[in-house]
């Protein structure tokens, strides 16, 4: 399966490199905010789809921060965020943001949550009608930022280490900047597989049925609770593969590109990952994992 990526058409005067640097800066600022300004007692502002799918006050404040920062530097771009305060743009670029990916972990102080920021071309509200151009996933607990642009590779840097040039140049001068490379595992039986579950009870029931078939055929399963961090773990090789249904654009936009730029292949039921299914793994493994999840599965649309 081909992993060739071509740079989409961008507005005049805009480069992938500058968009990637901006993703890093935005994700870093939001990550610092949700960590450093986290109230001692967290409050649940509302629920989303079910009682188990929470929205915290900090979700909203983090998204408001991202909106403000994006509109200061890219006022003509669109914005699509998990909390629903969307902005129509005129430039052809849309920022797709998840202000806290792993909200339940954040609520319970489980150190596995992130801020995901990506810029995409196409209609991010449609299935298969968009592609990420640049993205960053900031991990506030580890104080790391993972990032990629189309054709630039996938990288991890310490939160406080400002990106000032290309990541490759930064890495040559700053040893803490590290290039990400996905696992080369090719056997399903040796695969450490990350996955996740939806919040609606009927969706969870279907996903549990799928896992009954999947679990005996892989080395083990990991359920971390953040799709963005799962995709980063595919990129850095700390898991061999990831598969989950029910993902929205903000869940996967940045992680999708980071995984691809690290050498993984990211697909769905078809070529485009999304709500029905998202699978990420190395080229030798991805079709085995996709086949395993598609066999008898009912898509969560």
Are the beta carbons of 249 and 124 closer than 8 angstroms?
Answer: yes
- Name the pLDDT band for 51 (thresholds 50, 70, 90): low
Model confidence band, residue 83 (pLDDT cutoffs 50, 70, 90): confident
**DSSP secondary structure letter of residue 48:** S
pLDDT at 298: 44
Report residue 214 as tokens: 């999947």
User: Where in the chain are all domains bearing CATH 3.40.190.80?
Assistant: 188-294
- 158 phi, psi to nearest 5 deg: -60, 145
Class of domain 188-294: alpha beta
What's the pLDDT tens digit per position in 87-146? 999 999 999 999 999 998 998 889 999 999 999 999 888 888 899 999 999 999 999 999
Average of per-residue pLDDT across 186-202: 89
Number of H helices, E strands in the chain: 8, 14
Question: Residue 166 phi/psi, 5° resolution?
Answer: -70, 150
Q: What is the pLDDT of residue 8?
A: 73
CATH 1.25.40.10 fits 16-179, yes or no: no
Does an H or E element contain 35, and which?
helix 16-36
What percentage of the chain reaches a pLDDT higher than 90?
64
Structure confidence by residue, pLDDT tens digits, 3-34: 456 767 888 889 999 999 999 999 999 999 99
Given pLDDT bands bounded at 50, 70 and 90, which one contains residue 48? low
pTM over 0.75: yes
Enumerate the CATH 3.30.540.10 domain ranges in the chain, comma separated: 16-179
Convert the pLDDT of each residue in 156-181 to its tens digit.
999 987 766 666 666 555 668 999 99
Beta-strand ranges (E) seen in 32-92 are 44-47, 54-56, 78-81
């Amino acid at each position: 399966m081909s992993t060739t990526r071509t740079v989409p058409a961008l507005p005049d005067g805009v480069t992938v490199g500058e968009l990637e640097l901006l993703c890093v800066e935005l994700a870093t600022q939001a990550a610092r905010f949700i960590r450093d300004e986290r109230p001692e007692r967290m409050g649940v502002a509302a629920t989303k789809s079910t009682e188990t799918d929470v929205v915290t006050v900090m979700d909203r404040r983090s998204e408001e921060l991202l909106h403000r920062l994006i509109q200061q530097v890219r006022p003509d771009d669109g914005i699509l965020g998990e909390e629903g305060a969307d902005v129509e743009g005129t430039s052809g670029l849309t920022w797709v943001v998840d202000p806290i990916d792993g909200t339940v972990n954040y609520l319970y102080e489980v150190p596995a949550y992130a801020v995901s920021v990506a810029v995409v071309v196409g209609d991010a509200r449609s299935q298969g009608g968009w592609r990420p151009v640049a993205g960053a996933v900031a991990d506030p607990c580890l104080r790391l930022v993972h990032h990629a642009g189309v054709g630039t590779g996938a990288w991890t840097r310490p939160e406080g280490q400002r990106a000032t040039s290309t990541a490759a140049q930064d890495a040559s001068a700053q040893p803490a900047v590290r290039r990400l490379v996905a696992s080369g595992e090719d056997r399903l039986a040796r695969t450490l597989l990350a996955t996740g579950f939806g919040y609606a009870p009927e969706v969870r029931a279907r996903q549990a049925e799928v896992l009954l078939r999947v679990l005996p055929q892989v080395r083990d399963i990991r359920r971390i609770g953040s799709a963005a961090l799962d995709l980063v773990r595919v990129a850095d090789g700390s898991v061999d593969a990831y598969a989950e249904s029910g993902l929205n654009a903000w869940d996967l936009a940045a992680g999708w590109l980071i995984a691809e730029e690290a050498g993984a292949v990211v697909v769905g039921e078809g070529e485009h990952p999304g709500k029905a299914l998202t699978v990420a793994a190395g080229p030798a493994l991805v079709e085995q994992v996709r086949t395993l999840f598609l066999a008898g599965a009912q898509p969560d649309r």
